[in-house]
Amino acid sequence: MTTHPAPAPSGAPGTPGAPATKPAATRRIGARVLIGVLLAGYALVSLYPFLWMVSGAFKDQFEVVRGGHLIPEHPTLHILTDTWNRLHFLDYFLNSLKVTALTVVLTLLIYAAAGYAFAVLRFPGRAWLYRLFVALLFVPGVTVLLPIILLEHNLGILGTHYGLVLPFVNGTAPLSVMLLTGAFTAVPKELRDSARVDGAGEPHIFARVYLPLARPALITVALLTAIPTWNEYLLTKVSLNDESAYTLSLGLQQLSAQNVPQYNSLMAGALIVVIPVILLFLALQRYFVNGLVGAVKG
């Protein structure tokens, strides 16, 4: 399990003062077992709701109300296909995809440019503006929910997907600005200087020199934007009225709003919602972890 020598629990060789009452080998095994139990235990805690989500989605009406076993006695795909067909999940799915894609693309365009300006260009008010963007992090969602709705009503975009995308994009500002500014700051200044000597203009340097070098940070920001946007529920719920504009979150909510919630179709719907985002995470998780490392190290 562990091959790393450094924090081995056995009193390191040459430590006569250590209270080595038990033989080192026993203690090392004891520590390994403890670690194994802790890690496996939390893996179970982490997965437990998902295990039952999958289980519930494959149970028929009778079995799902009986509770009991994780493995369904008569597993059926019927609930999953039925839920998908009955509730226009394809439409909801495409709406979610549209909102998420638009949010990610706009976030990357807007904050890559802003991050470039913050990182390499000098202009009065730069540090002040930067702080303002980061401070946005502390505004509670519930404080702005109502004003956003009122403003969008006046602008006539309430209930449209653009009415969701614009606040979502702005909501990613603190994190996106911080990560992208950090990434552009890390690019060696000499590259920009030599490109300028070659006569390249600012847009050219940005697009041809900086953007390619910041690719990992761009992917991190895309992922950190896509995940919460896909899962978003609150603003979507209070904004959208027209069922044809619904995203997956609202489709799922509709399922539970029936008089008696059918947990098997609710879990089937939940599974449809989480699978795409899990796949996206698994495909790009390398960037996610590295991006966070960069953020912590500053």
Partner 1 sequence: MTALGTSSSASTPRTVGAAARPSHRRGTPGSRGREALTGYLFIAPAVVLFAVMGLYIVGYGFLLGFARWNGFAPHWDWVGLDNYADLLWRDPVYAPRVHEAARHTLYVMIAVPVLTVAVSFPLAVALARVKRAQAVLRSVYFLPYVTSGIAVFYAWQYILQPDGAVNYLLGLLGLGSLQEPQGFLGNPATALPTMIVVTVWTEVPVAMLMYLTGLQTIDRGLIEAAELDGAGWWRTQVSVVWPLLRPITAIVVLLTLRSALHGFQTFLIMTNGGPGTHTDVLGLEAYRLAFLSKFAPTLGLAGALGWMLFAVAIVLALINLRALRSRV
- Residues between 80 and 139 with contacts to partner 1, criterion CB under 8 A: 109-111, 113-114, 116-124, 126-127, 129-134, 136-139
Does residue 151 bind partner 1 (CB under 8 A)? Answer: yes
User: Taken in order 222, 225, 231, 237, is the CA torsion positive or negative?
Assistant: negative
- CA 136 to CA 172: how far, in whole Å? 9
Is 28 or 98 the residue whose CB approaches partner 1 more closely? 28
Stretch of 71-79, 86-94, 207-215, 262-270 contacting partner 1, by CB under 8 A: 262-270
Cβ-based neighbours of 245, under 8 Å, separated by 6 or more: 95, 159, 160, 161
Does residue 9 bind partner 1 (CB under 8 A)? Answer: yes
Does residue 162 bind partner 1 (CB under 8 A)? Answer: no
Does residue 62 bind partner 1 (CB under 8 A)? Answer: no
Nearest approach, Cβ of residue 3 and partner 1 (Å): 6
- CA 152 to CA 176: how far, in whole Å? 24
Residue 1, amino acid: M
Nearest approach, Cβ of residue 244 and partner 1 (Å): 20
Structure-token match 């250590």, residue found: 18
Question: From the list 80, 164, 178, 240, which residue makes contact with partner 1 (rule: CB under 8 A)?
Answer: 178
Is 35 or 191 the residue whose CB approaches partner 1 more closely? 35
Encode the chain in three state secondary structure. Answer: CCCCCCCCCCCCCCCCCCCCCCCHHHHHHHHHHHHHHHHHHHHHHHHHHHHHHHHHHCCCHHHHHHCCCCCCCCCCCHHHHHHHHHCCHHHHHHHHHHHHHHHHHHHHHHHHHHHHHHHHCCCCCHHHHHHHHHHHHHCCHHHHHHHHHHHHHHHCCCCCHHHHHHHHHHHCHHHHHHHHHHHHHCCCHHHHHHHHHCCCCHHHHHHHHHHHHCHHHHHHHHHHHHHHHHHCCHHHHHHCCCHHHCCHHHHHHHHHCCCCCCHHHHHHHHHHHHHHHHHHHHHHHHHHHHHHHHHHHC
Stretch of 73-81, 83-91, 211-219, 259-267 contacting partner 1, by CB under 8 A: 259-267
Does residue 26 bind partner 1 (CB under 8 A)? Answer: no
Considering only residues 194 through 213, tell me which ones interact with partner 1, judged by CB under 8 A: 202, 206
Question: From the list 56, 79, 158, 246, which residue makes contact with partner 1 (rule: CB under 8 A)?
Answer: 56
Does residue 225 bind partner 1 (CB under 8 A)? Answer: yes
Can you read off the two tokens belonging to residue 239?
Answer: 């904004």
Nearest approach, Cβ of residue 286 and partner 1 (Å): 9
Nearest approach, Cβ of residue 215 and partner 1 (Å): 19
Question: From the list 19, 156, 199, 212, which residue makes contact with partner 1 (rule: CB under 8 A)?
Answer: 19
Is 146 or 191 the residue whose CB approaches partner 1 more closely? 146
Question: From the list 104, 169, 222, 240, which residue makes contact with partner 1 (rule: CB under 8 A)?
Answer: 169
Question: From the list 60, 84, 170, 209, which residue makes contact with partner 1 (rule: CB under 8 A)?
Answer: 170
Does residue 298 bind partner 1 (CB under 8 A)? Answer: yes
Is 214 or 232 the residue whose CB approaches partner 1 more closely? 232
Question: From the list 81, 85, 185, 258, which residue makes contact with partner 1 (rule: CB under 8 A)?
Answer: 185
